[in-house]
């Protein structure tokens, strides 16, 4: 019989303690704290994420029956809702934002060799998009969105090889998506997939083209341009045209004075025609279309986060509490992703997370939890796993 660490403790052993403490010290998170340190705060909030707790009282009531097992899981004692509420209000959210960046650096190399990427391209490929988290404006007055509604936006840059977020910016809902491009870390030679909402020709030219990075986005219907040249395409592959154009309206031409490539592609499955706009003139036209098709992974990431981690309802109403919860949710996602790879488990991330949530205080080696394939099958949800079969 295994009498070692709980499943929760085994998962949390992937926390790089030295690096985490550096983040805490940077913002003096444990200054004059006699009990309930930043580490315990992270553990309790991560527990709430994994088990889907809906409120502070729910967290307190769930932890109290397991008081005898908390110490061996890294939590010194049951936590009252008032203590947790104070921590969410006062602990600087940047502690957990910086820690998430450390976990990102650990997770990315583990997924770099994943072979579910459709395009044969030896370059880094990212998708940039945002998701809106609706909030009640009367409870969260700092989140004004529109029409008397409140919301925050989670702008995310996703590494498409492995679906690991490499950059996240949390803003008020009223911040337009295109403004978040100014904070985006641009890497020369890399590819960035974006939807129409990020079309700003001045930014596309200065942030991407002049930085020797490539963008692929969908052109707007009112695009005005003149054709410079046109290449032959394989119409049987769904390609309609491949053109080099120049913008003709005064403002657009001034903002983006160089040529742009337009690839028109028809998706026979959906009977839809797409016009892709890019500053890459070398990749085959079909590869441009396939690159943009990979952008769905960022939508799947948002769906996974919202469905399986707790960021649709919050444990506090202040900006600090909301940011703390989102960043700890992201860090928990990254810890799950790291643990799955470290244990070399050939299962979906969804199944892994669901199993952990049901067995957190069991003293069973994580790898043994997945020996019984029938149990895993019962935990699976075929409709939700198809996009997350790493």
Burial of residue 16, with CB atoms counted within 10 A of its CB: 0-12 exposed, 13-18 middle, 19 or more buried: middle
pLDDT at 114: 67
pTM over 0.95: no
Quickly state the pLDDT bin for 242 (edges 50, 70, 90). very high
* Per-residue tokens: 172: 């008020």
pLDDT confidence bin for 361, thresholds 50/70/90: confident
Pick the more confident residue, 244 or 116.
Answer: 244
The pLDDT, as a whole number, for residue 66 is 79
* Structure confidence at residue 190 (pLDDT): 94
How large is the average pLDDT for residues 314-335? 92
Position 382 scores a pLDDT of 38
Cβ-based burial of 194 (10 A; exposed 0-12, middle 13-18, buried ≥19): buried
Taking every pair of Cα atoms in the chain, the longest distance, rounded to a whole number of angstroms, is 75
> What is the domain partition of the chain in residue ranges?
7-96+315-385
Full DSSP string of 305-351: HHHHSS-SS-S--SHHHHHHHHHHHHHHHHHHHHHHHHTT--S-HHH
The confidence band for 187, taking pLDDT boundaries of 50, 70 and 90, is very high
Confidence band for 381, pLDDT divided at 50, 70 and 90: very low
**H-type helices in the chain, by residue range?**
7-12, 17-26, 38-51, 56-63, 67-70, 81-90, 94-111, 201-203, 250-255, 285-293, 296-308, 319-342, 349-358, 373-379, 382-385
pLDDT at 389: 36
Beta carbons within 10 angstroms of residue 235's beta carbon: 10
pLDDT tens, residue by residue, 97-126 = 999 999 999 998 888 776 567 777 888 899
């Amino acid at each position: 019989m295994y009498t070692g660490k709980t499943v929760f403790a085994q998962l949390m052993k992937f926390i790089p303690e030295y690096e985490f403490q550096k983040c805490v010290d940077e913002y003096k998170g444990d200054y004059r704290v006699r009990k309930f340190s930043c580490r315990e705060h992270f553990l309790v909030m991560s527990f709430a994420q994994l088990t889907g707790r809906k409120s502070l009282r729910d967290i307190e009531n769930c932890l109290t029956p397991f008081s005898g097992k908390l110490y061996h899981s890294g939590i010194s004692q049951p936590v009252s809702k008032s203590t947790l509420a104070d921590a969410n209000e006062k602990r600087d959210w940047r502690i957990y934002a910086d820690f998430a960046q450390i976990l990102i650096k650990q997770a990315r190399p583990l997924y770099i060799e994943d072979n579910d990427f459709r395009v044969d391209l030896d370059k880094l490929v990212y998708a940039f998009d945002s998701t809106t988290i609706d909030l009640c404006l009367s409870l969260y007055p700092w989140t004004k969105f529109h029409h008397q509604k409140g919301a925050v936006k989670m702008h995310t840059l996703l590494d498409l090889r492995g679906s690991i977020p490499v950059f996240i910016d949390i803003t008020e809902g009223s911040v337009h998506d295109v403004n978040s491009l100014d904070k985006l870390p641009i890497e020369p030679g890399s590819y960035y997939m974006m939807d129409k909402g990020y079309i700003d020709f001045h930014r596309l030219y200065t942030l991407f083209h002049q930085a020797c990075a490539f963008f692929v986005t969908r052109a707007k219907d009112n695009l005005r341009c003149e054709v410079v040249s046109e290449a032959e395409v394989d119409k049987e592959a769904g390609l309609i045209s491949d053109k080099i154009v120049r913008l003709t309206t005064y403002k657009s031409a001034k903002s983006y004075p160089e040529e742009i490539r337009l690839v028109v592609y028809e998706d026979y499955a959906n009977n839809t025609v797409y016009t892709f706009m890019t500053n890459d003139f070398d990749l085959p036209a079909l590869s441009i279309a396939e690159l943009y098709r990979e952008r769905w992974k960022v939508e799947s990431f948002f769906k996974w986060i919202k469905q399986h981690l707790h960021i649709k309802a919050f444990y506090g109403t202040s900006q600090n509490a909301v940011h703390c919860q989102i960043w700890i949710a992201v860090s928990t996602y990254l810890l799950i992703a790291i643990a799955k790879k470290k244990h070399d488990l050939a299962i979906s991330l969804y199944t892994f997370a669901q199993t952990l949530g049901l067995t957190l205080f069991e003293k069973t080696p994580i790898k043994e939890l997945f020996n019984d394939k029938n149990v895993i099958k019962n935990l699976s949800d075929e409709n939700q796993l198809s996009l997350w079969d790493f």
